[in-house]
Amino acid sequence: MIGGRRPLAGRKLADRRVRVERPHAPFFRYTGPGQLVAREAASMPTTPAGRFAARLKKIAIGRPLASEEEIGERLSKKKALAIFSSDAISSSAYATEEILRVLVLAGAGALLVSIEISIAIAVLLAVVALSYRQVCRAFPNGGGAYAVARSELSPLLGLIAAAALLIDYVMTVAVSTSSAVDQLISIAPALNALRIEFAIDSITLITIANLRGLRESGNIFAVPTYMFVGLALVIVASGVFHIITGQATPLPRQPEAVSFGTETLGVFLLLKAFASGSVALTGTEAIANGVPAFKPPEARNAANTLTVMAVLLGVLFVGVTVVAHAYDIVPSRDGSGGPTVIALVAGTAFGSGPLFYVFQLATALILFLAANTSFNAFPRLAAILAEDGYMPRPFGFRGDRLAYSWGIIALAAIAAALLVYFGGITTLLIPLYSVGVFVCFTLSQLGMVRHWLRLRESGWAWRTAINASGAILTAVVLVVVASVKFTSGAYLVVILIPMQVAVFLFIRRQYEASREKLTVRGDFVVKPPHREERVVIPIPTINRAVVQAVNVARSISDDVRAVFISDDPDAAAELRERWERQVPGVPLVVVESPYRALVGPMTAYLDVLDRAWPPDKEAPITFVVIPEYVARNWWERILYNQVARRLRTALLGRPHTVVVNVPYRREEATTPEPEGPGP
């Protein structure tokens, strides 16, 4: 960069020095020969409006972070537990309720089975958690089910896993948000009317928090998670204490309670209850997907966090179910605004004292947190998919705050749409949820089995056993969930996954195709251009914009001609006279267009030029230099350049043709043209 130099005198007569200005300094920084790094100021907008927008953005999502600042965004185990496990742990806030909802169909007596079902689910959880601990170790780069299935099974299975995962993440946001709203309604039933608005607002808030970047999310959300976990443990402990001491007495039914059904407690109903309850497992995979966000040693920290999370979840889920049963708690009707099961359970410990409200608030918050988990995981997976060419590239770009902005916004949009569609009612969303989750579980377990069989590291046998049993169990559950819930929404997932996979493959093929066309072979040396060049300038009249365009044209080639398309022969003659006098050396071609068309004759003229080119010579590159007046505001934009725009569109696909816009800014010249009278 060349800067001005200012001579300065020194104290002594002959001491001179020269100050060298550094024009690059505010915008760039040298890091090596011929290598610049753009500073924040370089991407600052230069217009007042742009600057204002940037300032708003800065207020909303914070100052941009440089890529090097990422290492500071790594999570400690405590923060990671808050962020990643909230998904799983928070499901204890609604999983029990989902079991009960199925069982009430078989009458009050059937509720007893809920404990057995919850224990069965806890066992399943233990197996899955053990399996995923191994995933953390084997795939420290994250990606979870997708990475495992893709590298260990087949790309197609990987894509299926990815599709399932994406659905899972979207559903997590939808379910958690709606459940959180349920919790808030439990303490403030008046909110019931605003259920959807409330949910959407929450998603917006979480979106903004995430656009600000990962570290701050950790800080924002750590407190409620630990508060929920702490209070929930207190509730379970007090409930168990009451059961042991025989103080647990059935609560009176709340007015919104569902009425008991009369179905018989058959295998189908049991399986259905199990399938509904298995929603407790959702989110278990989050940690395995987010391993790179951990502080080093990443894999080890992630695996340990996973264990802590699974134990907490198991204890809370089973505990809540046991307490709920002991107090004979029955869920409220869908969308009635009645208290949730977890709220009723909390009431057994805290009554309606302040702690009850604190707990409900914490529950709502941890559910929002759970939604937030997806905001971490979804964009990450989308970015990995984008890198592999299965998703549009912008999903792989990180925004000012190092967050994958596109992924975050896409997730928020889809989840919000789902919420609106289902009226914000949690139960209706659940069937869509579980299927996707279990597809992932099964695929990643299978992948791990392949992994151990392939590598045969020490202890591969028992590791295989763990993953194989996990795979079988989750596969069975998957089949059960999909079949028993097929009619109540699971079918959607069955359709959605293949559709998504098809889209992935389509995008990939597009990228592959364009890459193939654009690729330059590694051994190809670019030679100086050898094609001849000629320039055509379509002109509307003689004005400064045209003069400037002519100057540009002459710098491109000596073969320059101006083309004037006119429907008025007199005007054409006048222009020709003026042109030859004022722009000597550039031949003017007047095309009379009796039908007043403009673009057509222009392209036709270019065709004729091409045809006139000697066939034995390589076709020349034709530059079409379009003089353009730069509009300064919206109405000028309407007034000017409409023809230029149409012409540009018409020429876009023409072979060997380059369209050059020569913008003319009015500010550039302040003195009027000194030359003679114009037409």
CB count in 10 Å sphere of residue 75: 25
* C-alpha to C-alpha distances, 80 to 101, 170, 188, nearest whole angstrom: 32, 20, 31
Quote the least distance from Cβ 37 to other proteins, whole Å: 9
Stretch that binds other proteins, among 5-13, 142-150, 210-218, 514-522 (CB under 8 A): 5-13
* C-alpha to C-alpha distances, 374 to 269, 419, 538, nearest whole angstrom: 31, 15, 55
Beta carbon nearer to other proteins, 25 or 205: 25
Quote the least distance from Cβ 32 to other proteins, whole Å: 8
25 lies in the site for other proteins, by CB under 8 A: yes
Closest by CA to 45, choosing from 54, 57, 37, is 54
Quote the least distance from Cβ 211 to other proteins, whole Å: 24
Beta carbon nearer to other proteins, 18 or 612: 18
Tokens at residue 303, please? Answer: 């695996």
5 lies in the site for other proteins, by CB under 8 A: yes
24 lies in the site for other proteins, by CB under 8 A: yes
Beta carbon nearer to other proteins, 11 or 517: 11
* C-alpha to C-alpha distances, 661 to 42, 546, 548, 607, nearest whole angstrom: 25, 11, 11, 20
- Sorted by sequence, the CB contacts under 8 Å of residue 341 that are 6+ apart come out as 94, 96, 97, 100, 320, 324, 329, 331
Distance of CA 170 to the CA centre of its chain: 11
Tokens at residue 68, please? Answer: 């090097």
Is 229 exposed, middle or buried, given 0-12, 13-18 or 19+ CB atoms closer than 10 A? buried
Quote the least distance from Cβ 422 to other proteins, whole Å: 49
Beta carbon nearer to other proteins, 12 or 521: 12
Is 43 exposed, middle or buried, given 0-12, 13-18 or 19+ CB atoms closer than 10 A? exposed
16 lies in the site for other proteins, by CB under 8 A: yes
Stretch that binds other proteins, among 24-32, 160-168, 251-259, 336-344 (CB under 8 A): 24-32
Quote the least distance from Cβ 552 to other proteins, whole Å: 29
Quote the least distance from Cβ 72 to other proteins, whole Å: 13
Quote the least distance from Cβ 79 to other proteins, whole Å: 24
**Quick one: which of 8, 267, 495, 612 contacts other proteins (CB under 8 A)?**
8
479 lies in the site for other proteins, by CB under 8 A: no
Helix (H) and strand (E) counts for the chain?
22, 9
Decide: 283 and 87 in contact? Cβ < 8 Å.
Answer: yes
Closest by CA to 381, choosing from 129, 67, 143, 135, is 143
**Quick one: which of 27, 33, 50, 180 contacts other proteins (CB under 8 A)?**
33
517 lies in the site for other proteins, by CB under 8 A: no
Residues 615-634 that bind other proteins (CB under 8 A): none
Distance of CA 495 to the CA centre of its chain: 22
Closest by CA to 439, choosing from 285, 290, 267, 310, is 285
Closest by CA to 99, choosing from 254, 325, 367, is 325
How far apart, in whole angstroms, are the C-alpha atoms of residue 68 and residue 641? 44
Stretch that binds other proteins, among 29-37, 41-49, 119-127, 314-322 (CB under 8 A): 29-37
72 lies in the site for other proteins, by CB under 8 A: no
Quote the least distance from Cβ 39 to other proteins, whole Å: 9
How far apart, in whole angstroms, are the C-alpha atoms of residue 523 and residue 412? 46
Quote the least distance from Cβ 13 to other proteins, whole Å: 5
Stretch that binds other proteins, among 25-33, 248-256, 292-300, 471-479 (CB under 8 A): 25-33
10 lies in the site for other proteins, by CB under 8 A: yes
- Sorted by sequence, the CB contacts under 8 Å of residue 100 that are 6+ apart come out as 111, 114, 324, 329, 330, 331, 341
Stretch that binds other proteins, among 17-25, 300-308, 424-432, 641-649 (CB under 8 A): 17-25
Stretch that binds other proteins, among 3-11, 281-289, 398-406, 557-565 (CB under 8 A): 3-11
12 lies in the site for other proteins, by CB under 8 A: yes
Stretch that binds other proteins, among 19-27, 512-520, 522-530, 665-673 (CB under 8 A): 19-27
Stretch that binds other proteins, among 4-12, 231-239, 636-644, 664-672 (CB under 8 A): 4-12
Binding footprint of other proteins, residue count (CB under 8 A): 28
Decide: 118 and 97 in contact? Cβ < 8 Å.
Answer: no
Beta carbon nearer to other proteins, 8 or 495: 8
Quote the least distance from Cβ 21 to other proteins, whole Å: 7
646 lies in the site for other proteins, by CB under 8 A: no
Quote the least distance from Cβ 23 to other proteins, whole Å: 9
Q: How many residues does the chain have?
A: 679
Q: If DSSP codes are grouped into helix, strand and coil, which group holds residue 441?
A: helix
456 lies in the site for other proteins, by CB under 8 A: no
19 lies in the site for other proteins, by CB under 8 A: yes
Q: Which residues of 304-318 are buried (b: 16+ CB within 10 A; e: fewer)?
A: bbbeebbebbbbbbb
Q: Which residues of 108-119 are buried (b: 16+ CB within 10 A; e: fewer)?
A: eebbebbbebbe
63 lies in the site for other proteins, by CB under 8 A: no
465 lies in the site for other proteins, by CB under 8 A: no
71 lies in the site for other proteins, by CB under 8 A: no
Closest by CA to 377, choosing from 78, 64, 83, is 83
Quote the least distance from Cβ 337 to other proteins, whole Å: 51
Residues 35-54 that bind other proteins (CB under 8 A): 35
HSE-CB for 332 with a 13 A CA cutoff: 23
Quote the least distance from Cβ 655 to other proteins, whole Å: 41
Beta carbon nearer to other proteins, 30 or 506: 30
How far apart, in whole angstroms, are the C-alpha atoms of residue 666 and residue 545? 9
DSSP 94: T
Beta carbon nearer to other proteins, 168 or 400: 400
267 lies in the site for other proteins, by CB under 8 A: no
11 lies in the site for other proteins, by CB under 8 A: yes
Quote the least distance from Cβ 10 to other proteins, whole Å: 4
29 lies in the site for other proteins, by CB under 8 A: yes
15 lies in the site for other proteins, by CB under 8 A: yes
Beta carbon nearer to other proteins, 26 or 266: 26
Is 673 exposed, middle or buried, given 0-12, 13-18 or 19+ CB atoms closer than 10 A? exposed
Quote the least distance from Cβ 65 to other proteins, whole Å: 14
Beta carbon nearer to other proteins, 21 or 577: 21
Stretch that binds other proteins, among 15-23, 182-190, 311-319, 373-381 (CB under 8 A): 15-23
CB count in 10 Å sphere of residue 591: 16
Quote the least distance from Cβ 68 to other proteins, whole Å: 10
**First-last CA distance in the chain:** 46
How far apart, in whole angstroms, are the C-alpha atoms of residue 674 and residue 594? 35
Q: Which positions touch other proteins (CB under 8 A)? A: 1-3, 5, 7-8, 10-22, 24-25, 29-35
